[in-house]
Amino acid sequence: MTDDLQVIEAFADGERVDAEALMAALADARGRAHFVDVLVLRELVDPRAGVGLPVSGRGGEVVRSGASWSSRFVAVAAAAALVVSLGAGFAVGWGLAGRAAAGRGGAPASATPAGTPLPPIEAPAPTRVIRFEPGVDWTEGTGGD
Amino acid sequence: MSDAEVLFHAHREPVFRYLCRTVGTADAARDLTQEVFLRVTRSVPPDAGHDGQRAWVFRIARNLALNYLRDGRRRPAAVALVEHAAPATQELAAAIDGAVASLPDLERDVFLLRESAGLSYEEIGRACEISADAVRNRLHRARVQLRDALGTTFRIQRQRGVRLARRESDD
């Protein structure tokens, strides 16, 4: 039986085999099952699903990683989103800094990236009011009293 | 284009795939692939036609892989080809790599030279310095052992269906 199975394997491997021997081998249910097993094993060990070889030299610098186009697109989109969010964060921070400077009465050379004047920012309302009373000595003394 | 360049362009990918499965890590396989073609460049290819030259390249690759494994007393790791795979695929790939790594050296090499590199029985025989009949026997043993070792994984794959794969030499 092993010989029959080897004939089937050789056929599956693209080797030239005796047609009569192949017919006899495939006439047996075990032979047919083994033929399927060889193909299943081939699918499992499919090497083309793995990582690739960075190619250097004439003919093109290609890195074939085996990653799908969709995963590459996701990676590029994620990188683009990161760049956009960093840029937006920088622009917002730049604008807030300009507004704060304007609120302090300063005139930074570039209050806004576009140089447009910003409305004054009102100071927040006091949460506690301390009344000044005449005659009270406000200077700090030594000794903690 | 020199003979070495022709061989490099024709065989770099199958050599790399074979080495990946054999040594167990993609990084080591890349280094060894470079070493293979460095040796090809420094040597005079045998005047043995396309198949003979391919077998010669793979004999160099096999010897380098065996030295690599022996020098470091390494066993092929089950993480080689799963680095960039999805989690479900990682488990499957680890099972396959583990089963392949458990094969005796010659069975493993014969099997990988056929399935990963696409060599014919005659080319495998030249690369491993054994007869074509011995290739047939070793290949059969390797397949039976792998089928038994993979067990459930094998049955699941069988339920998914099969197809006749192309041979590398058909490309």
Chain A residue with minimum CA distance to B8: A57
Chain A residues with CB inside 8 Å of B1's CB? 58
Comparing B162 with B61, the larger pLDDT belongs to B61
Q: What is the pTM of this model?
A: 0.62
Three-state SS for A55-115 is CCCCCCCCECCCCCHHHHHHHHHHHHHHHHHHHHHHHHHHHHHHHHHHHCCCCCCCCCCCC
Task: Name the CA dihedral angle for A71, A72, A75, A76, rounded to a multiple of 10 degrees.
Answer: -140
The torsion angle over the Cα atoms of residues A15, A17, A19 and A20, rounded to 10 degrees, is -150
Residue of chain A whose Cα is closest to the Cα of B145: A41
Residue B63 pLDDT greater than 90, yes or no: yes
Q: How confident is the model over A109-120, as a mean pLDDT? A: 57
Position A50, amino acid: G
Question: Which residue of B lies nearest to A14 if distances are taken between CA atoms?
Answer: B167
**How much is the pLDDT for A61?**
35
Confidence of residue A104 (pLDDT cuts 50, 70, 90): low
pLDDT tens per residue across span B4-38: 788 888 899 999 999 988 888 889 999 999 999 99
How many angstroms separate the CA of residue B50 from the nearest CA in chain A? 17
Cβ distance B30 to A15 less than 8 Å, yes or no, reads no
